[in-house]
Chain A
Amino acid sequence: KQEVTQIPAALSVPEGENLVLNCSFTDSAIYNLQWFRQDPGKGLTSLLLIQSSQREQTSGRLNASLDKSSGRSTLYIAASQPGDSATYLCAVPYYGGSQGNLIFGKGTKLSVKP
């Protein structure tokens, strides 16, 4: 059974710092991995999707890496800003049944202090 874990559960940093959020998964047979952002009281915004054949994806100040063999992904945020404050979730598709639904970690709540 696929399980997704995110560490740390919460992180507080001063503005301008570079930071890394971690995601691990127990079954390395994944098709892709997706990173989301969730603002309080809002839905999920897709940030990056990494296919299993890729090592990393970049979008602006965000860089996500994937190491399938070790069951890990990291989300690197450069030069953090207060507007980056949100909960970050990683997720992988589940193929145990017929769904392809996402299995989510519980998220890392990021607070960037001005």
Chain B
Amino acid sequence: GAGVSQSPSNKVTEKGKDVELRCDPISGHTALYWYRQSLGQGLEFLIYFQGNSAPDKSGLPSDRFSAERTGGSVSTLTIQRTQQEDSAVYLCASTHGGRWAPDTQYFGPGTRLTVL
């Protein structure tokens, strides 16, 4: 079956521009996570959606970052007024489980963002 998909695969933008990154989770998965992988930093959590509940945004690094999930499926991560330090690979993951029943997280291929 289809896995997690993300688009675009690569995005190059100029400093100060806004960007939108898209994630299509596996059908039926209620939980969706966004992570960021920076060179030398490892993977860090950004935001978590569980069903129709309000998202947990505690991992977002600044108020320039926001995300939404429409209809409990597709999610969009928006970065406003991009900075060079936003350059990273942005990974999306989905799973059946959530906080109380964590299950295998399935990751998309990521979006490589480069801010010039």
Cross-chain pairs A/B with CB under 8 angstroms, 25 sampled: A34-B104, A42-B110, A43-B4, A43-B107, A43-B109, A44-B93, A44-B107, A45-B107, A46-B105, A46-B107, A49-B103, A98-B48, A99-B33, A100-B31, A100-B97, A100-B98, A100-B99, A101-B33, A101-B45, A101-B48, A102-B33, A102-B43, A103-B45, A104-B42, A106-B42
B102 beta carbon closer than 8 Å to chain A: yes
Which B residues form the contact surface with A (CB < 8 A)? 4, 6, 31, 33, 35, 42-43, 45, 48, 56, 58-59, 91, 93, 97-100, 102-110, 112
B100: A residues at CB distance < 8 A: 100
* Inter-chain contact B109/A34, CB cutoff 8 Å: no
Q: Tell me the count of chain A residues lying within 8 A, CB to CB, of chain B.
A: 27
| In the bound complex, CA of A42 to CA of B89 (Å) | 9
Give complex CA distance A31, B112 in Å: 31
Complex interface residues of chain A between 22 and 59 (CB less than 8 A to chain B): 31-32, 34, 36, 41-46, 49
